[in-house]
Amino acid sequence: MNSGQSIFSQVMDVMPLKTFHRCVERYQGNFGVKHFDCLQQFRVMAFAQLTYRESLRDTVICLRSQSSKLYQMGIRSKVSKSTLADANEVRDWRIYADFAHHLIRVARKLYEKDHLAIDIDQTVYALDSTTIDLCLSVFPWAHFRKTKAAVKLHTLIDLKGNIPTFIHISDGKLHDVNILDELPIEAGSIYVMDRGYVDFERLYRITRSQAFFVTRAKSTFSFDRVYSHPIDKSTGLICDQTIKLKVPATAKKYPDKLRRIKYRDPETGKVLIFLTNNFELPAMIIAVLYKQRWQVELFFKWIKQNLRIKTFYGTSENAVKTQIWIAVSVYLMVAIIKKRLKIEAKLSTILQILSVTIFEKTEIYQLLTFYDHRNKIDETSNQLNLF
């Protein structure tokens, strides 16, 4: 990254342009476009994310105030609110979704050697969703309840580095369990999810794919005990059982044996019952794995705090999905920079620094390493720490 470039240009240098142009060509994103192409649309929307702009008007005014610097930033055309709004409305959101998935693969390779909180060889994923509330009168396509609209962000994250590996955007009505039909299953991996995903026919698909799941049992769960395994009750374990489903219709959907672990959390005193198809890992490891699921909750809180995905610049489904996928791409690009440059600062700290130095011409590594990220202000910060 060259010190002669602006900070924004150095961040954009992370983009693999050949891949981006292939994504654009796949959906003919630049068909009939003379000036403001998809790459410039991406850069303007990325600028809005990095500088915390609240609207398209806010974004355009900020860019126009620095018009002499835009060409070197890769924004070669005059940016107007109507042109940017039209691009977000019309250009296929799948361009940016495909590009984000490429960045996911790049980021995962960089973070694959990071350590989990527990020492196991398998890849561990956490699956959950978050709801983003919308106004029904403005977003009628995202009908959720009688007087409410919403979109859901269904996300699978790799717990090594908290990198999202699968994202699906739906309206608020889609039940979480249906995402298991879309989920790519990797043999040998462990999928941790809450009891909203308990559907034995779908869980059996994970078992048939030679992967593992860890989830919680529903209160209506009915089973027959086959065998009880020895446990150390001083650890909080209450029982570790091999079971079979009791109800014939349910047993037909999942004919194999399951493992049922009952555990009392020493911190809260709450009794939790876990279900898994993994019979090899110790019972306490299963309990700790489920606790790691909360990393995906922290991920949702983090992106809502640090990215512009709660206030949308457009009202159509295409505009909303375009904004979300570009926001995810920005998150991944900054995560890639952090790992490649071996920056110790938290990702939220890096974004804050970038937001106020975006037009400066200094070397980004120098900028981020000269900042003392271990000062007292940072140590007492309430920002969530994902990295």
Q: What is the DSSP string of 153-204?
A: EEEEEETTTTEEEEEEEEETTS-GGGGGGTPPPPTT-EEE--GGG--HHHHH
Global pTM reads 0.86
Residues 6+ apart with CB under 8 A from 377: none
Per-residue pLDDT tens over the stretch 237-253: 999 999 999 999 999 99
Q: What is the pLDDT of residue 78?
A: 82
Q: What is the pLDDT of residue 210?
A: 96
Give me the residues of the chain with pLDDT under 70, please. 1-3, 117, 370-387
d(CA 87, CA 32) in angstroms, rounded, equals: 12
Q: What is the pLDDT of residue 371?
A: 56
Q: What is the pLDDT of residue 377?
A: 44
Q: What is the pLDDT of residue 310?
A: 74
Whether 214 and 289 have beta carbons less than 8 Å apart is answered as yes
Q: Kindly report the CATH number that applies to the domain delimited by 194-283.
A: 3.30.1370
Per-residue pLDDT tens over the stretch 2-53: 557 899 999 999 999 999 999 999 999 999 888 899 999 999 999 999 999 9
Q: Which two tokens stand for residue 312?
A: 């949308």
Q: How is the chain split into domains, by residue range? A: 7-96+314-379, 194-283
For tokens 């995905």, the residue is 309
